[in-house]
Structure formats: C-alpha cells, structure tokens
C-alpha cells in the first residue's frame, strides 16, 4: 500500500511537470493567440479586449493553474482555426488511437511469447536460426514502411482489405477491427521482433539457474520446467519491455495512421501543427503524454504483482 | 554464442561501410541530376539507364535515393551530435556533483523521458517550423534526455572508484577528473548508445519527413520519397521499395554493429 501511495505521488508530480513544460513551451513561442484568432486586420483595442477575455494578461503561473484546472474538468480550450472546443474535436479520435494501440499490443503478446519460447526451446535449430535472422531485419524496418509493404501485399495484391477504406467503429465494429488489424500489424512488427528476441535470451539465461537444475533433478520434463518454473521469471524483463514499448506505440500510431488513412489523434495533430493551431496541439500532446505516463504507472503496478521482490528502490 | 556475436559485428561493419560509401558517393556524384524532370520516363521501371526506375515526374530514383540518404545521414549525425554533446555535459555535471541541481534536472529529465522522442520532436517542430536544420535541432533536443540519463548513471558509478579518488588526491580539478579521467572510461557504453541513437534519429527523420513536417523540398529525403511513392504503389512499386530498402540497410548496419560492440 505504501508502494502504491509513493507511486501515485510520483505519478501526479510527473503529470504536473509534464503539463507545465508543455504549457511553458507553447507560452514562450512568438506570436499572439489573440492576433491569431482575430487576424492581422483587427484593431489593437479589439486584440487587447480579447487578450483580457482569454486571460492572457495574467501571470504565467496563474494561467497555467487555470488551464490545468479546466483541462482536468474536460475543457481543453478552443481551436484557433476551427473555432470549436478542442475537447469536442478530439473526443471521438482518442478511441481510434487507443484501439489501434490495443490491437497492436494484443498482437505483440500473442505472437512474440509463443515464438520466443519456441526459439529458446529449439535453440540452434533451423527454425531458431531463421527467426533470429528475421528478427534482426524486422527490427530495422520502420513501421510506416512496413505499413506501405502491408498495403502493397495485403491490400493491392491480395485484396484482403481496401487501402484507405477506413470504417468508423460507430458504423460497424467488426469491419473497423478488420481494417485496424493491418495498421496494428505494422506498428506491432518491430516490437514483436524485439520482444521475441528478449524472451529468447531471457529464457535461455534462466535455464542455467540453479532452481532449474533442481527441478530437473526432481524428475520434471523440459516442458514442465519451462512452463511451471522458468517462464514466470523469464517474463519479467519482457513485461518491462512491453511497458516501454506501449508508449512508443502510441507515438508510432501517429505516423501509421497516416499510412492507412485512419482518422485518429495523429491526423488531427498533424493538421494542427501545420495550421499552427496551438491549443489543439497542446491538448493532444498533453493527452498523449498523460496516456503514456498512466500506462507506465499501470505497468509498474503490474510489475509489482508479477514480482513481489520489487520495491521502490 | 560468442562466435555469433563477432559475426554480427563483421556483418554490421561491412554493411555500414557499404552504406557510408553509398552516402559519400551521393554527396559528390549522382548518375542524373536529382531534380531534373523528364516526362518521357515518368514512372519508368527498372532498366540499365535507370537502375531503380523513375518517379512520377520522371526523375531518376537512384539519384534521388543517393541524395536523400545523404540528407537523412546528415540529419541523423547532427541530431546525435547535439544529443550526445548536451547529454554528456548535462549528465556529467549532474552525475558528478549530485545535490539539488541533480534532483531538479532529473525530475525534468524523467518527465521528458516519458515523451516518445518523435513526439518531442513534433512539439519542437510545431514551435520552430519544418526544414532540414529545424529537424536537426528538434530531434537533437529530443534526444538529450536519453543521453543525459545514460551518462549520469555512468558518472555516478565511476565517481567513487579508486582511480578517481587517486586523481583527486593527486590534486586534479573536478573538470579534469570529469572529462579527462572518467569520460574515456565510459566511451564503450556511450558509443553503443550513440549507434542506437543514430538509428532512432534516422527513423525519426524519415518518419517526420514522411509526415511532411520534416525535411522540405527541394531537399530530397527518403521519408518524403516514401510518402510521394505511396500514391503510385500499385503502378510503380519500385518507387517505394528502393528508398525503403536503403533506409532499412542503413539502420540494419548500425544495429548489427552496436550489437557486436556490446559483446
């Protein structure tokens, strides 16, 4: 419980620091939001009135406090270019990006764990060699390029899906998932390779431990030793890796969404960056950062469950 | 196991050497001018005249790949240089001296670490605007936290070792100890992370240019080529495949090399 409280305090501190840094970054940039909203032809008096109305004349800390309080309440400001609430703009995009990340995470777990175990079990066999080499290559392929390859092979040649034919989850769940499988695969591929490699190394090093020899000497077969004893320990570094990979995947989905024309957070982030629509950029960045930090927090807790020996230090 | 690792190193060294040569050639010579358009060879396939075919404007893809990998390489080198330099100085001071400054820096560093570097790059690009040099600065800053963290850890590990103590007793100043005595001892760790950082920088640059917010035309870039090629994926798959393969080979060489280095 003390562990949890400490972790929670750390979580809140990190959230505050991150949101303040983002706020600061967007506060110091040249260019005045009031002028941006009214256009260059507005009279100085009009600009000044809007500055007052937006609270831009208050000290930085006060503005941050107001902004974060609004943010927590779900008010993320107003978009400069669309003149609508940011919350409204991104509310239905978040589930898309989350679903994409969740599907790729699922793929990583169900593919890499059996694969890693198989590699370790039949070490130096033909299959193992093939997988080790393939892993090394796949790790070097950027997700957006594997996305392009997947589009070419599964979309244009094999016709398993229509490139660009995204179906909203509101219209049809099954077809949404069917479409999202391919971008999710593109995101997952390099992580599958890394996770497989990590698990293989981890199982192999655990197999040398004393408790494994004891288990064998008590008459257990390889299968029993592997699944009942080794796997539990070998999975610990993999859990850490998966936690770190998750945050990477949320960010990676920004690019892969573009490849597959998926209207998630990434699309709107990019449009807002090119439009210099700072309230939207700021809100999305903070949302993604919060998501990442929250994931890391949950992984830490999970980690504690997997391995009770872990403490704060 | 040991034999395999040296195999990694050899393969990585050869591949990296070939790719460096490729990039170097691209700086001085390309078979055609990478910008010259020729309608008669629009989306032409692989041939002796155009070993990688031509793009939608009839520009020679090999020439563009040569130029583009040069840009990608420069951006990656610049990024890693900024990240390593600032990260090393920051990590060295905070790790060596510790105290309240260290606490504050590391809190901020931890917070920044929570951002995936491409996201951090995006933040800076949205503040600075796009273009080759801004990408270098944006990614460079984004890479500082990870280098600072590694260097700080190494300095904390080394600062109480015997050779540092004896240097102190011999009257060496703090700066001398930090950069003349400790730094050379952490170069192995640092060089491995420089290579990984280089790969991440290549991938981040390609990703950002693919998104259209990285390197801007007329600079050729592998990521930008890939995004342009996507429209012609079916009619001219080579347009996407060749830049992609070059990108993969570049990353693969360094990742094999860093793996070999780790021993």
**Whether B244 contacts chain A with CB within 8 A:** yes
Interface test mutation site (partner B, options A119, A134, A143, A148, max chain B beta carbons within 10 A): A148
**Whether A254 contacts chain B with CB within 8 A:** yes
Residue A299 has pLDDT above 80, yes or no: no
Under a CB-based contact definition with an 8 Å cutoff, are residues A295 and A246 in contact?
Answer: yes
The whole-model pTM stands at 0.82
Q: Which of residues 83-142 of B touch A (CB under 8 A)?
A: 107-108, 110-112, 114-116, 118-119, 122-123, 125-127
Q: Do A247 and B112 touch (CB under 8 A)?
A: no
pLDDT confidence of residue A215: 85
CA distance A124 to chain B (A): 10
- Report which of residues A160 and A199 the model is more confident about: A199
Contacts of residue B252 in chain A, CB cutoff 8 Å?
A: 136-137, 140
Q: φ, ψ for residue B54 (rounded to 5)? A: -130, 155
What is the DSSP annotation of B236-258?
Answer: -HHHHHHHHHHHHHHHHHHHHHH
Contacts of residue A139 in chain B, CB cutoff 8 Å?
A: 255
| Other beta carbons less than 10 A from residue A218's beta carbon | 9
Top mean pLDDT of A120-124, A144-148, A221-225, B101-105 is at A144-148
- Range in A145-149, A165-169, A226-230, B34-38 the model is least confident about: B34-38
Residue A30 burial class via C-beta count within 10 angstroms: exposed 0-12, middle 13-18, buried 19 and up: exposed
Contacts of residue A17 in chain B, CB cutoff 8 Å?
A: 107-108, 111
Of residues B128, B112, B117, B140, the one with CA closest to residue B207: B117
* Chain Cα centroid distance, residue A221: 39
The tokens describing B167, both together, are 């240097």
Q: Do A293 and B211 touch (CB under 8 A)?
A: no
Sole residue written with tokens 């060879």 = B41
Under a CB-based contact definition with an 8 Å cutoff, are residues A147 and A105 in contact?
Answer: no
The tokens describing B182, both together, are 């400790």
Q: How many CA atoms lie within 13 A of A116 on its CB side?
A: 29
Sequence spans of domains, chain A: 94-265
Superfamily for domain range B54-262? MetI-like (1.10.3720.10)
Q: Do B252 and A137 touch (CB under 8 A)?
A: yes
| Angstrom distances, CA of residue B258 to CA of A104, A161, B10, B68, B261 | 27, 38, 11, 24, 5
What is the per-residue pLDDT across B2-14, written as a single tens digit (0 to 9) for each? 455 578 888 888 8
Sequence spans of domains, chain B: 54-262
Residue A107 has pLDDT above 70, yes or no: yes
pLDDT band at B120 (very low <50, low <70, confident <90, very high): confident
Report yes or no for ipTM above 0.95.
no
Round to whole Å and give the CA distance between A165 and B77: 39
Average pLDDT for B52-77: 83
Q: Which of residues 199-218 of B touch A (CB under 8 A)?
A: 199, 203, 206-207, 210-213
pLDDT confidence of residue A108: 92
- Range in A98-112, B76-90, B146-160 the model is least confident about: B146-160
Sole residue written with tokens 């256009």 = A39
| Other beta carbons less than 10 A from residue B137's beta carbon | 17
What b/e sequence results for B35-65 when a residue is b if at least 16 CB atoms lie within 10 Å of its CB, and e otherwise?
Answer: eeeeeebebbeeeeebebbbbeebbbbbbbb
Round to whole Å and give the CA distance between B138 and B126: 9
Torsion of CA B214, B220, B222, B223, to 10 degrees: 30
Contacts of residue A270 in chain B, CB cutoff 8 Å?
A: 211-213
pLDDT band at A313 (very low <50, low <70, confident <90, very high): very low
Round to whole Å and give the CA distance between A113 and A136: 17
Query: Which residue on chain A is closest to B7 by alpha carbon?
Result: A133
Please give, one letter per residue, the 3-state secondary structure of B127-186.
Answer: HHCCCHHHHHHHHHHHHHHHHHHHHHHHHHHHCCCHHHHHHHHCCCCHHHHHHHHHHHHH
List, in order, residues 6 or more apart from B94 with CB less than 8 Å away.
Answer: B101, B102, B105, B106, B148, B152
Round to whole Å and give the CA distance between A274 and B130: 9
Round to whole Å and give the CA distance between B128 and B216: 14
The CATH number of domain A94-265 is 1.10.3720.10: yes
């Amino acid at each position: 419980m003390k562990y949890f409280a400490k972790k929670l305090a750390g979580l809140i501190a990190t959230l505050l620091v991150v949101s303040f840094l983002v706020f600061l970054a967007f506060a110091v940039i040249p260019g005045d939001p009031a002028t941006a909203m009214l256009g260059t032809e507005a009279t100085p008096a009009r600009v000044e009135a809007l500055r007052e109305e937006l609270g831009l004349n208050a000290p930085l800390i006060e503005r941050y406090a107001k902004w974060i309080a609004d943010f927590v309440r779900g008010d993320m400001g107003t978009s400069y270019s669309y003149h609508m609430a940011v919350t409204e703009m991104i509310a239905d995009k978040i589930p898309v990006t989350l679903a994409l990340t969740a599907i790729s995470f699922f793929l990583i777990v169900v593919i890499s764990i059996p694969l890693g175990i198989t590699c370790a079990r039949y070490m130096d066999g033909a299959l193992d060699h093939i997988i080790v080499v393939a892993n090394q290559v796949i790790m070097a392929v950027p997700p957006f390029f594997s996305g392009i390859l997947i589009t070419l092979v599964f979309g244009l040649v094999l016709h398993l899906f229509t490139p660009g034919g995204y179906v909203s989850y509101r219209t049809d769940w099954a077809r949404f998932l069917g479409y999202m499988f391919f971008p999710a695969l593109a995101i997952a591929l390099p992580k599958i390779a890394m996770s497989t490699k990590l698990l293989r190394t981890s199982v192999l090093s655990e197999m040398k431990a004393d408790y494994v020899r004891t288990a064998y000497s008590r008459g257990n077969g390889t299968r029993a030793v592997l699944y009942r004893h080794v796997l539990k320990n070998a999975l610990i570094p993999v859990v850490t890796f998966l936690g770190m990979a998750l945050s990477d995947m949320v960010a990676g989905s920004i690019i892969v969404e573009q490849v597959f024309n998926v209207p998630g957070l990434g699309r709107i982030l990019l449009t807002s960056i090119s439009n210099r629509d700072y309230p939207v950029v700021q809100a999305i960045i903070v949302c993604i950062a919060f998501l990442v930090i929250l994931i890391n927090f949950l992984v830490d807790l999970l980690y504690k469950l997997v391995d009770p020996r872990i403490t704060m230090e | 196991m040991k034999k395999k690792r040296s195999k990694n190193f050899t393969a990585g060294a050869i591949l990296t050497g070939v790719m460096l040569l490729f990039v170097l050639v691209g700086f001085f010579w390309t078979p055609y001018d990478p910008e010259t358009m020729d309608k008669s060879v629009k989306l032409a396939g692989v041939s002796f005249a155009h070993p990688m075919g031509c793009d939608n404007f009839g520009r020679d893809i090999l020439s563009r790949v040569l130029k583009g990998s040069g840009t990608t390489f420069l951006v990656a080198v610049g990024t890693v240089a900024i990240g390593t330099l600032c990260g090393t100085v920051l990590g060295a001071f905070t790790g060596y001296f510790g105290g309240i400054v260290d606490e504050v820096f590391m809190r901020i560093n931890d917070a920044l670490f929570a951002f995936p570097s491409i996201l951090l790059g995006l933040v800076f690009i949205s503040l600075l605007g796009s273009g080759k040099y801004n990408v270098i600065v944006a990614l460079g800053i984004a890479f500082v936290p990870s280098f600072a963290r590694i260097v700080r850890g190494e300095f904390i590990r080394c600062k109480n070792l015997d050779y540092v103590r004896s240097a102190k007793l011999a009257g060496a100043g703090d700066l001398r100890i930090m950069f003349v005595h400790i730094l050379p001892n952490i170069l192995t760790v640092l060089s491995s992370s420089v290579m990984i950082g280089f790969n991440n920088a290549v991938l981040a640059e390609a990703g950002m240019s693919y998104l259209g917010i990285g390197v801007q035309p007329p600079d050729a870039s592998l990521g930008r080529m890939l995004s342009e090629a996507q429209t012609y994926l079916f009619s001219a798959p080579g347009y996407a495949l060749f830049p992609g393969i070059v990108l993969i080979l570049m990353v693969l060489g360094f990742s094999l090399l860093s793996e070999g280095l780790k021993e």
